[in-house]
Amino acid sequence: MLNRTLVPQSAARLIQDMIQSGELAAGQKIPSQRDFSLKLGISRASLREALLTLETLGLIKTEAGRGTFVADPGAPGSNMAPWRYSDTYSVFDVFQTRIMLEGNIAALAAGRLTGNQLQAMEAATKQMEDCWAKQDLLANVEADLEFHGIIASACSNAMLRALYQVVREQLTETQRQPIPITEPARMQASIAEHRRIIAALSDNDAARARLEMETHVLNTARCAGLNP
């Protein structure tokens, strides 16, 4: 049972483990939120957030009028989950903003990252690669978030750092959104893009860091079927 103080991400990890172990089998209906939250020892609000994360990653799916089910990884035609911020911003708008915001952040982080930060970015990239290989999708995305967060923390412009934090929930969702339709070759390309960003930042090359980051985010958007 989870401690009630744990964040929704911990609940999402536990449910992912239940799916991977077969405790929750492909096609099985997820218990009602009331029953499941009691079983896990968490609030229904935390459970809802965990389930939304898992749905975005393609591990579960909600069918109108029927409930929520464990996704079948062998089923044809994987699709992205509905964009959860559609009442405020389109996914196109968020990707377009990511390109502009993170490109500038990368340029302004060049020359400011410590050796430890660059090593942490290398480790996060390796974690992305390893976790994709074993289909630990939550850890794959967590490593991706850490990578981008380190760069943002080194940006010389305080307002851009603050803006990144304000919109981070929406940015994070664009990092999860394409996962269900991401082919292995695209993930390997994404990992290679991370390493090119690290190289540009290591060389203190602001223009190259901007270009590599903009290209990376644009390629992620294209994976999601968009061309901002």
pLDDT tens figures, 65-109: 888 999 987 665 578 889 999 999 999 999 999 999 999 999 999
What pLDDT is stored for residue 40 in this prediction? 87
- The answer to whether 84 touches 77, Cβ cutoff 8 Å, is no
Domain containing residue 54: CATH number: 1.10.10.10
- Over residues 156-214, the pLDDT tens digits come to 999 999 999 999 999 999 999 999 999 999 999 999 999 999 999 999 999 999 999 99
* Whether 108 and 53 share a structural domain: no
Domain count of the fold of the chain: 2
Share the mean pLDDT of the chain.
92
**Residue 124 in contact with residue 143, Cβ under 8 Å?**
yes
Using an 8 Å Cβ cutoff, are 23 and 14 in contact?
Answer: no
- Residue type for position 164: Y
Could you list the residue range(s) of the whole structural domain that residue 169 is in? 91-223
Alpha carbon distance 176, 180 (integer Å)? 9
pLDDT for 1 equals 47
Q: State whether 114 and 202 are in the same domain.
A: yes
Which pLDDT does position 77 carry in this prediction? 58
Q: What is the mean pLDDT of residues 40-65?
A: 90
Mean pLDDT of 23-52: 91
**Could you tell me if residue 77 is inside a domain?**
no
Residue 136 lies in a domain: yes
Is position 2 within any domain? no
146 versus 77: the higher-pLDDT residue is 146
Q: Mapping DSSP to helix (H, G, I), strand (E, B) and coil, where does residue 68 land?
A: strand
pLDDT of residue 76: 58
What is the C-alpha separation between 72 and 77, in angstroms, rounded?
Answer: 11
The residue type at 172: T
- Verify that 58 and 110 share a domain, yes or no: no
Tell me which of 228 and 74 has the higher pLDDT. 228
Mean pLDDT for the stretch of residues 8-23: 91
Same domain, residue pair 126 and 42: no
